[in-house]
């Protein structure tokens, strides 16, 4: 989905001749900006992209209108591209929180501040409404406070998410980010920034609480049959299964934390 072609499709039904001519005239600007975007994203330098408004003779508000009224709106020429972009995340999961379902498109660089990328596909990421809202006005000011871009940044091969079982009734789990030695300072900082911006610790802790409640009966059965060793064996099996599927999911971190907790395996889940 090339930026220029997408832009041309979105503006294909503009009736006002003057506006249409002005929009057609800035297609080269849209394409050049998109090419620069890819280069900057590949080098984790999106924060270096300047905010441009107007684009040629087109004000930023017209570009925002192009997205809102000619791409996101059902029945408009750009809507099929909008729908295709929403399908890109694996398993319909929001790539930012990796928990909720995709329900909208996020402008990685906010369209109000970077209108030149309002309908540029590489700047549009399918995500959940909650992450979209939390990330809405986040403008990258430097290398360390740039959210991870799902199309360019891969943090799935190294463990960065960890959890700890909290010894209280009812049992709970807290989450935190651990530094990865194989990454540079900037990438480690970006993971922490996204984790805090999207309030993932709170979100994952709530999910872990529900998970513990759901598995309590099963753990009680294992405890009755084989004590703490049987509970730990079950939790380790669940941990390994989830780790093989996804290294940094909240489920993987939860089961690892529970399996490593002597208090929890010893019956803490029954309190």
Q: What mean pLDDT comes out for the span 10-14? A: 97
* Averaged pLDDT, 113-140: 95
Q: 271 pLDDT exceeds 90?
A: no
Same domain, 169 and 234: yes
In the chain, % of residues over pLDDT 90: 97
Mean pLDDT of 162-175: 96
Confidence at residue 17, expressed as pLDDT on a 0 to 100 scale: 96
**Enclosing domain of residue 172:** 161-270
Residue 138 has pLDDT above 80, yes or no: yes
Count of Cβ atoms closer than 10 Å to residue 237 Cβ: 12
**Total domain count for the chain?**
2
DSSP 92-146: GB-TTTSSSBP-EEEESS-TTT-GGGTT-GGGEEEE-HHHHHHHTT----SGGG-
Same domain, residue pair 120 and 240: no
Q: Do 68 and 189 have their domain in common?
A: no
Task: Supply the pLDDT for residue 137.
Answer: 78
Give the Cα separation of 75 and 68 in Å (integer). 12
| Same domain, yes or no: 121 and 211 | no
Whether residue 242 sits in one domain with residue 166: yes
**Average pLDDT value for residue range 144-169:** 96
Average pLDDT, the chain: 96
The whole-number pLDDT of residue 164 equals 98
139 and 175 housed in the same domain: no
Write the DSSP assignment of 175-193 as a string of letters.
EEE---TTS-HHHHHHHHH
- List 195's β-bridge partners, or say none: none
Burial of 258 per CB tally in 10 Å (0-12, 13-18, 19+):
buried
Residue 126 is predicted with a pLDDT of 98
pLDDT at 1: 81
| Same domain flag for 124 and 41 | yes
Show which of 145, 174, 202 is a domain's final residue: 145
pLDDT, tens only, 207-263: 999 999 999 999 999 999 999 999 999 999 999 999 999 999 999 999 999 999 999
Locate tokens 């900082």: which residue?
Answer: 189
The answer to whether residue 32 scores a pLDDT higher than 90 is yes
Q: Report the pLDDT value the prediction gives residue 265, as an integer from 0 to 100.
A: 97
Q: State the average pLDDT over residues 141-157.
A: 95
pLDDT of residue 191: 98
pLDDT score of 213: 95
Give me the mean pLDDT over the 85-108 stretch.
Answer: 97
Domain co-membership, 134 together with 183: no
Give me the pLDDT at residue 51, please: 96
Same domain, 168 and 218: yes
């Amino acid at each position: 989905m090339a930026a220029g072609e997408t832009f041309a499709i979105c503006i294909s039904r503009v009736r006002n001749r003057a506006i249409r001519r002005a929009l057609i005239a800035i297609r080269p600007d849209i394409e050049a900006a998109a090419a620069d975007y890819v280069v900057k994203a590949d080098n984790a330098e999106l924060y270096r992209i300047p905010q441009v408004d107007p684009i040629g003779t087109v004000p930023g508000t017209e570009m925002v209108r192009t997205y809102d009224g000619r791409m996101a709106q059902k029945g408009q020429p750009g809507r099929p591209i909008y729908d295709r972009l929403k399908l890109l995340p694996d398993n319909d999961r929001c790539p930012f929180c990796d928990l909720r379902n995709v329900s909208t498109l996020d402008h990685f660089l906010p369209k109000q501040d970077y209108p030149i990328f309002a309908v540029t596909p590489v700047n549009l990421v399918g995500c959940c409404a909650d992450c979209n809202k939390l990330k809405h006005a986040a403008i990258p000011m430097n290398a360390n406070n740039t959210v991870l871009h799902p199309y360019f940044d891969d943090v799935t091969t190294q463990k960065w998410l960890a959890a700890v079982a909290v010894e209280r009734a009812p049992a709970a789990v807290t989450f935190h980010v651990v530094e990865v030695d194989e990454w540079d300072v900037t990438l480690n900082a970006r993971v922490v920034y996204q984790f805090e911006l999207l309030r993932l610790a709170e979100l994952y802790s709530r999910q872990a609480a529900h998970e513990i409640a759901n598995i309590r009966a099963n753990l009680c059965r294992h405890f009755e049959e084989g004590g703490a060793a049987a509970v730990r064996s079950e939790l380790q099996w669940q941990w390994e299964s989830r780790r093989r599927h996804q290294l940094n999911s909240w489920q993987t971190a939860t089961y690892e934390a529970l399996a490593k907790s002597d208090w929890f395996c010893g019956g803490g889940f029954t309190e």
